[in-house]
């Protein structure tokens, strides 16, 4: 009887534990089911384009099941869609505080948080988060490319080169972008260390021998090291490979003590093989002739450019300005009436093949989206770079 008396409390305690366990399991099951229903409701609201209702349901799902990482990601995406970047950032920060987060989930959360910081203009925080992402490899190609673009915007060329090298190791391509970055790093280094600048430019041209960006940087580096003839040769090579660099190449040649009439000669040698692509070379050649005092020859170059590219507003505009500057108003009035009316208009000559934005001047990197080698000239427009009146001042 005494043994039976001891057994009863034990059985009762066991039964109580079992009941509590069953109740806890049922509670967890109900919580999971409720979280699942809330999550599915949130998805339905997303599909029906009702972001406010979707955020409410997904927030409820996150509260019911704190282990559901996809809920956090989905909720952050909705916050971004509504422009609530502060909430998206807070969700990302909370996600990274969760213990025992899977490495791939942590990397994804860091990438999204870094991008949110960047969208919010918090560049320092974005960089810190990107650095943490790179320090916890493997950072994927998307993360490395996004970090590199951030570094390009802040003109941190040395670190951008390092990140692009990591990206090259992963994807096996991107030498052209690395060459651009090395060219920019070279130009930034010239003031303090011309020798280092030259080495960086030489590496850029070895990666992309025909790249005009690297050639222009090499020309500047040679000039900084006292090699004027090498600088002039690099300028000629750059313009031969990319006619849109004619103005930069001419400026480099002038800085390297080349007379304007000599520049006009080598620019003229490039015109004929280029055909319709010769327009920027023709405009720069005319500017060189104006600076050399050969105004009639400059007018002839511009008239030939108009004949070669009759739809070019830029060539007609430049010729009209020159004729006005030389006092030949009667020959201008009828032929250039509309062009002269628009002389002050900021016409846009280049369109980005990536973001489709338009810009006045040519550059190797799109000022809008940051894509390299994406700008191309649109027909019938002007850059506004050529200004004979300014050249003669």
Q: What is the largest CA-CA distance in the chain?
A: 131
User: Which residues make beta-bridge pairs with 365?
Assistant: 372
Phi, psi of 350 (to 5 degrees): -125, 140
Q: H or E element: which one contains 375?
A: strand 375-377
The dotted CATH code for 174-258 is 1.25.40.10
226 dihedral zone (left: phi>0; alpha: psi -120 to 50; beta) = left
Instruction: Please list, in sequence order, all residues whose beta carbon lies within 8 angstroms of the beta carbon of residue 147, skipping any fewer than 6 positions away.
Output: 114, 127, 130, 133, 134, 139, 163
d(CA 66, CA 79): 18
Is 42 within 8 Å of 58 (Cβ atoms)? Answer: yes
**Higher-pLDDT residue of 281, 334:** 281
- Supply the pLDDT for residue 20: 39
Comparing C-alpha atoms, which of 352, 350, 303 is closest to residue 323?
303
Instruction: Please list, in sequence order, all residues whose beta carbon lies within 8 angstroms of the beta carbon of residue 51, skipping any fewer than 6 positions away.
Output: 45, 78, 81, 82
d(CA 212, CA 248): 10
DSSP for residue 172: S
Is 211 within 8 Å of 243 (Cβ atoms)? Answer: no
SS3 61: helix
- Cα of 54 vs its chain's centroid, Å: 33
Q: Retrieve residue 282's tokens.
A: 């023709």
Average of per-residue pLDDT values in the chain? 81
d(CA 243, CA 66): 59
Q: What is the CA radius of gyration of the chain?
A: 32
Q: Retrieve residue 281's tokens.
A: 């070379």
Q: Retrieve residue 108's tokens.
A: 């994804």
Neighbouring CB atoms inside 10 A of 229's CB total: 12
Is 219 within 8 Å of 235 (Cβ atoms)? Answer: yes
User: pLDDT tens across 359-393, in order?
Assistant: 988 999 999 999 999 999 876 444 444 444 333 33
SS3 381: coil
In this structure, of 217-231, 240-254, 277-291, 320-334, the range with the lowest mean pLDDT score is 320-334
User: pLDDT tens across 132-169, in order?
Assistant: 999 988 889 999 999 999 999 999 999 999 999 999 99
pLDDT at residue 298 is higher than 70? yes
Q: H or E element: which one contains 290?
A: helix 279-291
Residue 44's pLDDT band, with cuts at 50, 70 and 90, is low
- The pTM score is 0.77
d(CA 182, CA 175): 10
- Supply the pLDDT for residue 316: 78
Give buried/exposed letters for 312-333 (b at 16+ CB in 10 A, else e).
bbbbbbbbbbbbbebeeeeebe
User: pLDDT tens across 72-104, in order?
Assistant: 787 788 788 888 898 889 888 888 887 778 888
Q: Where are the domains of the chain?
A: 174-258
Q: Omega of the bond prior to 138 within 30 degrees of 0, cis?
A: yes
């Amino acid at each position: 009887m005494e043994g039976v008396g001891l057994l009863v409390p034990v059985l009762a305690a066991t039964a109580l534990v079992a009941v509590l366990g069953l109740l806890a399991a049922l509670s967890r099951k109900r919580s999971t089911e409720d979280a699942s229903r809330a999550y599915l409701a949130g998805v339905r609201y997303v599909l029906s384009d009702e972001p406010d209702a979707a955020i409410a349901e997904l927030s409820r799902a996150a509260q019911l099941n704190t282990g559901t990482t996809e809920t956090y990601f989905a909720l952050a995406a909705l916050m971004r869609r509504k422009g609530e970047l502060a909430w998206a950032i807070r969700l990302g920060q909370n996600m990274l505080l969760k213990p025992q987060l899977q490495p791939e989930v942590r990397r994804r959360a860091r990438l999204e948080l870094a991008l949110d910081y960047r969208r919010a203009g918090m560049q320092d925080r974005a960089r810190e988060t990107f650095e943490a992402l790179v320090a916890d490899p493997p950072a994927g190609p998307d993360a490395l490319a996004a970090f590199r673009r951030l570094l390009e915007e802040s003109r941190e060329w040395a670190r951008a080169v390092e990140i692009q090298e990591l990206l090259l190791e992963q994807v096996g391509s991107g030498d052209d972008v690395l060459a651009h970055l090395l060219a920019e790093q070279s130009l930034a280094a010239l003031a303090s260390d011309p020798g280092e600048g030259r080495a960086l430019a030489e590496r850029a041209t070895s990666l992309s021998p025909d790249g005009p960006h690297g050639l222009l940087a090499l020309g500047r580096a040679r000039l900084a090291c006292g090699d004027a003839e090498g600088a002039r040769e690099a300028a000629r090579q750059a313009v031969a490979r990319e006619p849109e660099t004619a103005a930069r190449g001419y400026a480099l040649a002038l800085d390297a003590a080349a007379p304007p009439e000599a520049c006009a000669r080598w620019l003229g040698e490039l015109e004929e093989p280029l055909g319709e692509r010769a327009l920027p070379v023709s405009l720069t050649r005319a500017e060189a002739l104006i600076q050399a005092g050969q105004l009639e020859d400059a007018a002839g170059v511009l008239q030939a450019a108009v004949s070669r590219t009759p739809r070019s507003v830029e060539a007609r505009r430049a010729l009209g300005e020159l004729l006005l500057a030389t006092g030949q108003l009667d020959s201008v009035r009828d032929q250039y009436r509309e062009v002269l009316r628009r002389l002050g208009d900021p016409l846009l000559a280049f369109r980005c093949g990536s973001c489709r934005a338009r810009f006045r001047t040519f550059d190797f990197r799109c000022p809008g989206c940051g894509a390299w080698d994406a700008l191309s000239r649109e027909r019938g427009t002007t850059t506004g770079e050529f200004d004979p009146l300014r050249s003669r001042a």
